[in-house]
Amino acid sequence: MGTGGIAAGGADVMDVFKKRLKEKGIQSEVKKHCSMHKVGCRGLCARDVLVDVIRYDVKTTYQFIKSDMVERIVEEHIVRGTPVAEWLVPEDYHHFHDKQVKVVLADCGMVDPEDIESYFGAGGYEALRKVLSGLTPEETIDVIKRSGLRGRGGAGFPTGLKWELTRKAAGNPKYVICNADEGDPGAFMDRSVIEGNPHAVIEGMIIAAHAIGSDHGYVYIRAEYPLAVERLRKALQQARHHNLLGENIIGTAMDFDIKVKLGAGAFVCGESTALMYSIEGKRGMPRVTPPRSTEAGLWKLPTCLNNVETLANVPSIIRNGAEWYASFGTEKSKGTKVFALTGKIKNSGLIEVPMGIPLRQIVYDIGGGIENDKAFKAVQMGGPSGGCIPVEHLDVPVDFESLTALGAMVGSGGLVVMDEDSCMVDVAKYFLHFTQSESCGKCTPCRIGTKRLLEILERITAGDGREGDIDLLLDLSADIKVSSLCGLGQSAPNPIITTIRYFREEFEAHVTGKKCPAKVCRKLLAYSIYEERCKGCGACVRVCPAGAITGEKKKPHVINPEICIKCGSCVEACKFKAIGRE
Amino acid sequence: MIKVIIDGKETRVPKGTTILEAARALHIPIPTLCNHPKLSPYGGCRLCLVEVKGNRHPVTSCSVPASDGMEVVTSTPLLERIRKTNIELLLSDHPNDCMVCEKAGDCTLQELAYFYGIRENRFAGERRIYEKKDANPFIERDMEKCILCGLCVRVCEEVEGVSAIDFAYRGFNAKIVPSFEKALDCEFCGQCVAVCPTGALTGKMWSYKGRQKDVRDVDTVCSYCGCGCNLTLHIRRNEVVRVSSRDDTINEGWLCAKGRFGYSFVNSPERLKTPLIKEKGTFREASWDEALDLVANKLKKIRAKHGADAIAGLSSARCTNEENYLFQKFMRAAVGTNNIDHCARL
């Protein structure tokens, strides 16, 4: 149960299961054949709450389970052995998993994230034992280098190389930092990994510490992730209890421990240098490089900072070998990538796919297509730093290079699907609003430039767009990209650049035609009543908060555009589809 | 020493020299707003970006050290376009009141706006509006003119060791503030005022007394203490209207509150300009010769009647070392007593 599962009612369902099993007096019976487990995120959030019943080794999965449905499952399935057919997952549930390859998420949804024994049972900490008993730091780095693992936080820097640079850097002590300050709107990969399998991240960090020669680690995690923090802290305690952290780890000469540092809600603190200042207790503002963090990072000492997902890959790579990992993905982008699939998609949830998979397969095979079978319009990848990919590029292989070439990026892994009802100008405005308010204010282009980009987008969506505004957006975007100090500013214009590149006509419709083709931008809409359809029932008059609609009973009504605030309440209230929105 | 080539000119610089320092040594100008040679590099204004052969993106010359064989270009159409855009962005959020600004004529932002020929602003939009609310008599903070270069924050932390101000808020609303946004209440050394490249920080007592082009500079030494800081008095119509210090001086251009702001006595009508001799309970003006003769005669009389140890001398911390040395020598050798002390010993 991750945060999403709990929000869908997972904890209640679990409680009722416990209660019912107790009432039936079959608790011990159940224990003999199986155990009851709370697990991390299963991936298919759209079908929550999901329940697996494993009876005599036969696994049956239920979807959309509410607490009042539990009694029947216990009665009919667990006691009598007949599954409740109408609540079972349909065939497409399995399609959701067919094209996925799970490395990072292999144990998410399988192991109990609050129980280290459960992780041991799935081979947990075997990689650490293997490394500490038989691999030198150099050999460990070599395995990671050969695996082709690249940073999963967005930039795709080769992980093995980063470890090597930190190992070779002069200075002591050295630090390992896990960046769990996941902040992109629509992204929940790192949260789910920590909530679902925190020990994999911890194991990855200890292996990294061995490789670079560090005895101090930090997990920088946002305070807005209380469940992940709680499970992480619990896991750290269990790991210390088993001497996997602390002094002389599992009887070797290695000392290493991990502190948890909570982020206070600044998006920019996900930027590595700002993150390190934040750990030091300073204001989270990125600094100029060089020196790189691998030479002078936290407290000006050599520091290796990796993202949650990157570190969670490490134990599997060590256990299964570099060649096994490198067998997934493309030539330059090896392995798998976790994505948070959201937006107007049927199967929203957490997915893991091999690098290089065509985007179309993610949207249609795994995602099941667009909600309400509307037309696909674009995918926004990489959050506010990323860009939009339109339908004509739907077959693009999802890897670092191909996406960058399209103006988007793998980014941290947010994947927001948009349908025909999405206005691309509005989408760009949404992301700019985000980056503008999250800019730290240090450098001129990001501080003032993103503000000006947002102002231009605001006037375009308000119908005040001026001739030349689209080119002004592009010119300013180009200058901000090349002159900003950190990744936030350098990538902030991406949503604008890609939406203009692929949907320029939609921008032009706003600027010159003063129309929003997707009918999203409120100030560009006009509401009117079709005389021939209006029955004069007065339903719209009653809901109109502005008193803009008038008319005699049983005669066609009219909307006064001067008073209308364009809220759309009348459209929803009208049973005769007599109100038009243009 | 390493070799760098900047705009085709070759030079040798010590390892660790930044590209900006190397360029300045070659008299190649690179615009900056947030750089100060004595403060840590910041990289916030983005004007000093240069292109380095082999680098995909331009780099900030203020922070990147030159490396052996590095080839740098400081001006390209791309770099000039970026500079112009960034100056334009700064001006889009800056009061357009150079006509009445204290800093006009001595303002880096104004200079850059002139050189980049910025008249119309493509990015005109919302401006930050801040109220001036400090009651102190020394530092005027007009935060609407602040360009967030952070020089004041760094000088306060790195030179003064006080950290009275820092950044607050994010993005467009980022602002330099004292703790909890209270009124400024610090040592008022005014170092922040000295490094501010715009009219955001000025001396309160300077206002409307004369801008940089109107003043005559006179170099002198501060009379407040024995440190002997070098001062430059800025004088208009025979009146000291502000004080600064050159950075190639013994005090490297840094001053304290007294040296920088404590100059009003110079123009005070109550200031003593001659020695005074008290006769029948009232003072009258006298010449130095007359006054010194009087003191010498009185000292001689006391010594003759009561001995040298009846006399004691107390000197001042405001005198220089040399003056204090002379005074003790005078007391010991000329007067003949060891009764000599100094106010700073207390």
Average pLDDT of chain B is 94
pLDDT band at A34 (very low <50, low <70, confident <90, very high): low
Say if residue B130 is in the same domain as residue B262.
Answer: yes
A438, A443, A455: residue with CB nearest B46: A443
The verdict on B176 and B205 lying in the same domain is: yes
What residues of B are in contact with residue A444 (Cβ under 8 Å)? 44-46, 86, 89-90, 147-148
List the domain range (segments joined by +) for residue B215. 124-267
Q: Give the nearest chain A residue to B34 (CA atoms).
A: A443
CB distance A441–B174 less than 8 Å? yes
Q: What are phi and psi of B322, to 5 degrees?
A: -65, -40
What is the C-alpha R_g of chain A?
27
Q: Is the pLDDT higher at A386 or at A312?
A: A312
- Residue B16 falls inside a structural domain: yes
The reported pLDDT for the residue numbered A30 is 61
Query: A482, B174: Cβ pair inside 8 Å?
Result: no
Q: In this structure, are B136 and B263 located in the same domain?
A: yes
pLDDT value at position B246? 95
Q: What own/partner pairs with CB < 8 Å and gap ≥ 24 does A90-93 have?
A: A92/A347, A92/A368, A93/A44, A93/A47, A93/A61, A93/A63
Which residues does residue B140 pair with via DSSP β-bridges, in sequence order?
B202
Q: A290 vs B60: CB contact, 8 Å cut-off?
A: no
State the Cα–Cα distance between residues B123 and A479, nearest whole angstrom. Answer: 13
What mean pLDDT do residues B78-95 have? 96
CA of B38 to nearest chain A CA: how many angstroms apart?
17
Q: Which residues of B217-248 are buried (b: 16+ CB within 10 A; e: fewer)?
A: eeeeebbbbbebbbbbbbbeeeebbbbbbeee
Quickly name the fold that domain A526-581 has: Alpha-Beta Plaits (3.30.70)
Min Cα distance B210 → chain A (Å) is 31
Is A437 an interface residue toward B (CB < 8 Å)?
yes
Same domain, B282 and B224: no
Q: How much is the average pLDDT of A421-434?
A: 94
In chain A, % of residues over pLDDT 90: 66
Provide φ and ψ at A495, rounded to 5°.
Answer: -60, -35
The ranges assigned to domains in chain A are 3-90, 116-326, 336-419, 424-511, 526-581
Q: In the predicted model, what is the mean pLDDT of residues B283-296?
A: 96
Q: Which residues of A touch B44 (CB under 8 A)?
A: 442-444, 485
CB contacts < 8 Å between A and B, how many?
A: 109
| Per-residue model confidence (pLDDT) at position A31 | 60
**Is the CB of residue A281 less than 8 Å away from at least one CB of chain B?**
no
Of B46, B169, B170, the CB nearest to A444: B46
Closest alpha carbon within chain A to B18: A290
Instruction: Tell me whether residues A440 and B170 touch, CB distance under 8 A.
Output: yes
- ipTM score for this prediction: 0.89
Asked if A283 and B45 come within 8 Å (Cβ–Cβ), the reply is no
> Is A448 in Cβ contact with B89 (below 8 Å)?
yes
User: What percent of chain B has pLDDT above 90?
Assistant: 86
- Is B219 within a domain? yes
Please answer yes or no on whether B174 and A283 come within 8 Å at the CB atom.
no
Chain B residues touching A266 at Cβ < 8 A: 170
What pLDDT, on a 0 to 100 scale, did the predictor assign at position A29?
Answer: 62
Does one domain contain both B284 and B212? no
List chain B residues with CB under 8 Å of A482: 57-58, 78, 82
**pLDDT tens digits for A497-551?**
999 999 999 999 999 999 999 999 988 888 989 989 999 898 999 999 999 999 8
Contact A443 B85 (CB under 8 A): no
pLDDT exceeds cutoff 70 at A27: no
B170 with A479: Cβ contact below 8 A: no
**Residues 6+ away with beta carbon under 8 Å from A525:** A516, A519, A566, A581, A582
For the segment A216-242, the average pLDDT, to the nearest whole number, is 96
User: Do residue B126 and residue A482 have CB atoms under 8 angstroms apart?
Assistant: no
A340 Cβ under 8 Å from any chain B Cβ: no
| Contacts with B17 from chain A: Cβ below 8 Å | none
Query: Would you state the structure tokens that stand for residue A9, as one six-digit string?
Result: 């009612």
Distance from CA of B53 to the nearest CA of A (A): 16
| 3-state DSSP assignment of residue B18 | strand
What is the overall mean pLDDT for chain A? 91
Q: Considering only alpha carbons, which residue of chain A is nearest residue B168?
A: A283
Tell which residue, A469, A493, A414, has the closest CA to residue A182: A414
Contacts of A450 in chain B (CB under 8 A): 171-172
Contacts of B305 (CB under 8 A, 6+ apart): none
Is B48 inside any structural domain?
Answer: yes
Instruction: State in words which class domain A3-90 has.
Output: alpha beta
CATH number where B8 lies: 3.10.20.740
- Average of pLDDT values for A345-363? 92
Residue range A276-330, pLDDT digits in tens: 999 999 999 999 988 999 999 999 999 999 999 999 999 999 999 999 999 999 9
| Per-residue CA distances from B14 to A369, B19, B65 (Å) | 62, 11, 10
Pairing relation of β-strands B49-52 and B59-60?
antiparallel
Peptide bond into B29 cis (omega under 30): no
B122 contacts A288? CB cut-off 8 A: no
Find the CB nearest A479 among B85, B166, B174.
B85
Note the pLDDT tens digit of each residue in B60-77.
999 999 999 999 999 999
Is B107 inside any structural domain? no
Rounded alpha-carbon distances, angstroms, from residue A428 to A12, A359, A457, B274: 39, 21, 8, 75
Test mutation, A433, A483, A488, chain B, max B CBs within 10 A: A483
Q: Say yes or no for a CB contact (<8 Å) between A440 and B171.
A: yes
pLDDT at A3 over 90: no
Residues B200, B259, single domain; the answer is yes
Domain assignment present for residue B129? The answer is yes
- Cα angle for residues A260, A261, A266 (degrees, 5° grid): 145
Q: Which CATH superfamily includes the segment(s) A116-326?
A: NADH-ubiquinone oxidoreductase 51kDa subunit (3.40.50.11540)
Q: Which residues of A touch B169 (CB under 8 A)?
A: 441
Helix/strand number for chain A, H first, E second = 26, 15
Nearest CA of chain A to the CA of B215: how many Å? 33
Beta bridge partners of A62: A51, A88
pLDDT for the residue A483: 96
CB-side exposure of A69: number of CA atoms within 13 Å? 17
A364 secondary structure, DSSP code: I
Rg of chain B over Cα atoms, rounded to whole angstroms, equals 27
B46–A485 CB contact, under 8 Å:
yes
The answer to whether the Cβ–Cβ distance between A443 and B82 falls below 8 Å is: no
User: Looking at the structure, do residues B44 and B169 belong to the same domain, yes or no?
Assistant: no
Residue B109 lies in a domain: no
> B278 and B204, same structural domain?
no
Per-residue pLDDT averaged across A30-45, rounded?
Answer: 70
Once rounded to an integer, what is the mean pLDDT over residues A146-170? 94
The answer for A 228-267 residues in CB contact with B (under 8 A) is 266
Q: Residue B346: what pLDDT?
A: 55
Are B263 and B324 in a shared domain?
no
CA distance A452 to A493: 11
Between CA A419 and CA A374 the distance in angstroms is: 6
- Whether residue A445 lies within 8 A of chain B, CB to CB, comes out as yes
Closest approach of A290 to chain B, Cα-based (Å) = 6
Select A424-511's CATH number: 1.10.132.20, 3.90.10.10, 1.20.1440.230, 1.10.3470.10. 1.20.1440.230
Tell which of A444, A454, A485, A488 to mutate to test the B interface (max B CBs under 10 Å). A444
Q: B338 - beta bridge partners?
A: none
In angstroms, the separation between the Cα of residue B15 and the nearest Cα of chain A is 15
Q: Does domain A336-419 have CATH number 3.40.640.10?
A: no
Number of separate domains in chain B: 4
Is B160 within a domain?
yes
Judge: A441–B86 Cβ closer than 8 Å, yes or no: no
> What would the two tokens of residue B273 be?
């300009």
Tell me the pLDDT tens digit for each residue of A262-278: 998 899 999 999 999 99
**Shared-domain flag, residues B130 and B243:** yes
Query: Looking at residues B168-195, what average pLDDT do you find?
Result: 94
Q: Cβ–Cβ of B125/A266 closer than 8 Å?
A: no
The partner residue sitting opposite B171, judged by closest CB among A439, A445, A479, is: A439
Identity of the residue in B41, B90, B166 whose CB atom sits nearest the CB atom of A288: B41
Q: Is B101 inside a domain boundary?
A: no
Classify residue A60 as exposed, middle or buried by CB count within 10 Å of its CB (0-12, 13-18, 19+).
middle
